[in-house]
Homo-oligomer: A and B are copies of this chain.
Amino acid sequence: MNSVSSNRTVGRPRSEATRLAILDAAADLALSEGCVPTVDAVAQAAGVSRTTIYKWWPSTAAVLAEGLLERFHESIEFSDDLPVREALTLQVDALVTLLRDTPAGALLRQLLAASASAPALGQELLARWLGPRRERAVHHLERGIAAGEVRADVDLELVVDALFAPVYHRLVWGHAPLDAGLARQVADLVWPAISHPFPPRRRSA
């Protein structure tokens, strides 16, 4: 499931233009059809053979994953100069905006669906999508603990779930919108439980 690096030495080096045409075709078809496209459909739309696609990817879901992971980024690198709560709120808000306002939301939903019957794809999404985002959030929580703003006894995994799970939950189920105010609402809900009752420094420190 790992994407093939461009310096792979087995077989012909793939053309970057061809690779991008295949990524585009797969994403366009997934968005217009609302499902992971077939290899035949991607091959036809990209003007390549099935063989070319199977030479570089195990499935069209893998093609979609490569396109999503390369092309749709929200900023998850918020400065350590920001107050912890603000950095976390901005990170949640950037995710909300990405999933709501770009094709990343629909593509991620299709890929999560495909991962239910493709464990390797699920591992790829965890390692390359969710994992790095969770690590950044944990980093901010840990500096909050170090600064005495966040309680030292919080369960970091749970707090990260509480901050981000409502966003993914609404994406997957579609029961409520990805509102502009969602990130701040979630932060307001989580903060009283995790903030240190007697912070040694000012909150803005």
A residues near B (Cβ < 8 Å) are 33-36, 109-110, 112-117, 119, 122, 125-126, 130-131, 134, 155, 157-159, 161-162, 164-166, 168-170, 172-176, 182, 185-186, 188-194
Contact = CB atoms under 8 A, between A and B. Distances in A.
B166 A130 contact: no
B113 A116 contact: yes
Contacts of A116: 34-35, 109-110, 112-113, 172
Contacts of A155: 185
A162 B186 contact: yes
B113 A117 contact: yes
Task: Label chain A's interface by main secondary structure.
Answer: helix
A169 to B, nearest CB: 4
A135 to B, nearest CB: 11
Contact of A193 (B174, B176, B190): B190
Contacts of A34: 116-117, 119
A168 B166 contact: no
A96 to B, nearest CB: 13
Most buried by B among A115, A172, A188: A172
Given A162-B186, A162-B189, A168-B172, 8 more contacts: A35-B117, A112-B172, A165-B168, A169-B169, A172-B172, A189-B190, A189-B194, A191-B193
Given A116-B113, A194-B189, A165 B169 contact: yes
Nearest to A134: B175
A68 to B, nearest CB: 14
27 contacts: A35-B117, A110-B116, A113-B114, A113-B115, A113-B116, A116-B172, A126-B174, A126-B175, A130-B175, A155-B185, A157-B176, A158-B182, A158-B185, A161-B165, A161-B170, A162-B166, A162-B189, A162-B190, A165-B168, A165-B169, A169-B169, A172-B172, A188-B193, A189-B193, A191-B193, A192-B192, A193-B193
